[in-house]
Structure 1
Amino acid sequence: MPASIELHTPRLLLRRWRADDRAAFAAMNGDPEVMRHFPACLSPEQSDRVAERIEADFAEHGFGFWALERKDSGAFIGFTGLRPVTFAAPFCPAVEIAWRLARSHWRQGLASEAARAALACGFTRLGLAQVVSFTTPENLASQRLMQAIGMRHDPAGDFDHPALAEGHRLRRHMLYRLSRADWEAGR
């Protein structure tokens, strides 16, 4: 089992999850505004299952979706991190970068700060050649964040998410990519 990685930014600690993160995680996953680009809000039990999957990623890979902790308050505010894509798609195998923050921490630059740290870790410490991210066409905030961290939309890679039924309003996804070479050039 690889050793787990912990990351620091000026305002954030990206760390392994603790049991006391789960209540705040469940509250965030139950917020309709936070979850508007997902099929549904999660119950506390569903949220706990997601936390367990995240822990399993750390156990298997040594990385995953890190819990975000504000250094100034010690508060859990969400997650950001890297995870192997677990569904079949033409761009796989791939490692994705993703994030989710509690609404009270939006529009403060925290997601991009954490995402930049996760990308740096992926390219330098983990040796990834490329990182992908994807979202629905309506999720303009995530698309702006992807662009802000140097990712580029790959229209040829756009896809229908296989976990969502034909005709589901969120099925279509846009694919963004960032190669290590492009990341190094943009630093």
Structure 2
Amino acid sequence: MSAYLFTTPRLGFRTWKEFDLDDFAAINADPEVMRFFQKPYTREDTQAMMERMQNMFEEKGYCYFAVDLLETKELIGAIGLGWKTFESDFTPCVDIGWRIGKKWWNKGLSSEGAKACLDFAKEKQIQEVLSMASTGNLASIQVMKKIGMSYWKDFDHPDLKNHPDIQRCSLYRIQF
């Protein structure tokens, strides 16, 4: 296995590898994990996401990283930074996000990983990081608060026009 870009006490962050596809596709296919997205991802959707993340890493030096639990070397999901360009008064912007398998929920792993990604953003001299989640996604909003982000505003996500149940989003930010 390749070396990690950075670690926390429990997590290792790295770029995506072909061998991640089965585990990440299983996480992305879970309707509970994907509750606040348009739909669960197919294997092809997951493959495309992994390729986008690799390309983003090559272009920007960050992405939603593949994250392993160091103790077992299991892929738990993705935590990292993204580049958002959808039509809005706050884009383009760097955002932070996470998606981990249900097996690892409620263990503080998203918060631990997101804090490390904020440190990574500071090292990259990124001056502001945003995060957004559907207003009903209280678990993700709690992570945003836990990692020191401040509520900015609510907005209707333009990419979710056909999904009114998840279109209203809360936007948080942190500046360095």
TM range (shorter): over 0.9
CA distance in 1, matches of 2:106, 2:162: 33
What residue in structure 2 maps to residue 116 of structure 1? 115
- CA change 1:162–1:152 in 2 (3 A) is same
What residue in structure 2 maps to residue 31 of structure 1? 30
CA distance in 1, matches of 2:58, 2:28: 23
What residue in structure 2 maps to residue 177 of structure 1? 173
- Whichever residue aligns with residue 131 of structure 2, its letter is S
Q: Secondary structure at the match of 2:46?
A: helix
What residue in structure 2 maps to residue 162 of structure 1? 158
Please say if 1:54 is aligned against 2:53.
yes
Please say if 1:100 is aligned against 2:99.
yes
Q: Secondary structure at the match of 1:169?
A: helix
Q: Secondary structure at the match of 1:35?
A: coil
CA distance in 2, matches of 1:24, 1:63: 21
What residue in structure 2 maps to residue 17 of structure 1? 16
Q: TM-score, normalised by structure 1?
A: 0.89
Q: Secondary structure at the match of 1:132?
A: strand
Gaps of 5+ in 2: none
CA RMSD of aligned residues (A): 1.2
In the TM superposition, what are the counterparts of 1:76-95 in structure 2 within 5 Å? 76-95=75-94
CA distance in 2, matches of 1:167, 1:27: 23
Give percent identity, aligned residues only.
38
CA distance in 1, matches of 2:78, 2:40: 16
- Whichever residue aligns with residue 57 of structure 1, its letter is M
Contact 2:86-2:92 within 8 A present in 1 as well: no
Q: Secondary structure at the match of 1:163?
A: helix
The answer to which of 86-95 and 144-153 deviates more is 86-95
CA distance in 2, matches of 1:46, 1:71: 26
Could you list the runs of 4 or more consecutive aligned residues of structure 1 that deviate by over 3 angstroms after TM superposition?
none
CA distance in 1, matches of 2:92, 2:49: 21
Count of residues in correspondence between the two structures = 173
What residue in structure 2 maps to residue 131 of structure 1? 129
Q: Displacement, 1:109?
A: 0.9
- Whichever residue aligns with residue 142 of structure 2, its letter is R
Contact 2:79-2:96 within 8 A present in 1 as well: yes
CA distance in 2, matches of 1:165, 1:82: 24
Gaps of 5+ in 1: 181-187
Q: Displacement, 1:10?
A: 0.5
CA distance in 2, matches of 1:107, 1:164: 27
Larger strand percent:
2
CA distance in 2, matches of 1:59, 1:8: 20
Q: Displacement, 1:93?
A: 2.5
What residue in structure 2 maps to residue 140 of structure 1? 138
Q: TM-score, normalised by structure 2?
A: 0.95
